[in-house]
Amino acid sequence: MSKYTDPAKDLLEYIGGSENISVVTHCVTRMRFVLKDPKKADVEKIEAIKLVKGTFTQAGQFQVIVGNEVSSFYNDFVKIAGVSDTSKDEAKEAAKQNMNWLQRMIAHLADIFTPLIPALVVGGLILGFRNVIGEIKMLDGKTMTLVESSQFWAGTNDFLWLIGEAIFHFLPVGITWAVARKMGATPILGIVLGITLVSPQLLNAYGVAGAAEVPFWDFGFAKVDMIGYQAQVIPAILAGLLLSFLELRLRKIIPSAISMIVVPFLALVPTVIISHVVLGPIGWKIGSAISSVVYSGLTSSMGWLFAAIFGFAYAPLVITGLHHMTNAIDLQLMSELGGTNLWPMIALSNIAQGSAVLAMIFINRKNEEEKQVSIPAAISCYLGVTEPAMFGINLKYGFPFLAAMIGSLVAAVISVGSNVMANSIGVGGLPGILSIQAQYMVTFAIAMVIAIVIPFLLTIVFSKSNMGKISFKRN
């Protein structure tokens, strides 16, 4: 019997039993249920389970916050409940019946980018490490980097780029695969399509601006530029959607006896042609426009206002799922500008939420039962996973969540006001400083201190106010 057996049995009982579960799945930190009768779920008893950090309902899904242990807990739960662990797509589709168009769009974006997150995190760590050894002058009176001082570090820097390039430059391969997988098309065709967008025979996207001459395919009656779409997000999404549309439609009209041969050919070849002739150039312009608007907004005279709004609102966006939109924007900024000034604010928001929990640990330091939730939640939050902290502590009391939002606002204004740029998406929270471009690390460190101190102090102040007294009495 594992440590998850008893809490899994309790959750099954309090949620209304196996007969009340339509489908169940999980994400990084949450169990996601589509219940036949949501009223049968006893929220109070579920939240009393020690392993559970909180619950909430969103767009047809009853979500139970477990934290980083969710995968192991989920495996035990489905065995005890006797439900299938192959119903993830059913859960998404069932939940989407209750979504409006915006929620559906965000859900689709989440389905595309969520499978890519592990690779993006690894890529962010690698670029962050290369940033430290190759950009920060820390030797010989701060005139030399580690890479410049040692062949070992120079070789390490070059070798790590093998992985970084595979993740970020060849990102369209992952995107077209994820789109095909999400839409129900053949994933390997998505991979092949992605490779055709980043093939070595194409002019690299980063070399287009400085190229004296752009190579082209000459069909006699027309010429098509041989341009690659390395690191481009929107061209890859559009291409993946077209491939999926063609394949799914062709499956319906072509006899099954020949579909294995005909469908892949008629879906892939036209998609590759249209992607290079139409979708690629259009998608590139759309992506450039989006990145230009975001970057211009953040660097304009009103950038502080945008930063204040984003810093204050990001944590609530996580609750709604709207934060998934930032992945596409960050990646587009990286491809167009060589970095992103949006992601540093996300890392600061994570730190602020963790700092509010840290204050609650101090306030409730004699509450041993709560510390079993709050200490792991704070650690997880400082490492970039905020859900256990937000749902387990901050939203439970209310005022710590507000304190964290205010601290995030101030830190975001300082970050944007100082033009802080990150090389890439990375691990949120405290390790996020590794992804910051070397010349901005000190400024970002100051913003990090603010994201720690302000939420901590405000949480203590709020706890002594009427807001805190009411919250403590309620809980």
Q: Which residues are catalytic?
A: 27
Q: Which two tokens stand for residue 168?
A: 């970020």
Q: Contact at 8 Å (CB) between 280 and 227?
A: yes
Q: Which is it for the CA torsion 459, 464, 468, 474, positive or negative?
A: positive
Instruction: Write the single-letter amino acid at 68.
Output: N
E strands, 13-59, in order: 21-26, 30-35, 54-58
- Spell out the residues 6+ positions from residue 191 whose beta carbon is closer than 8 angstroms to its own: 173, 176, 177
Helix (H) or strand (E) holding 62: strand 61-65
Report how far apart the first and last C-alpha atoms of the chain are (Å, whole number): 32
Distance between CA atoms of 398 and 475, rounded to whole angstroms?
10
Q: Contact at 8 Å (CB) between 187 and 181?
A: yes
| Number of residues that this document lists for the chain | 475
Distance between CA atoms of 455 and 449, rounded to whole angstroms?
10
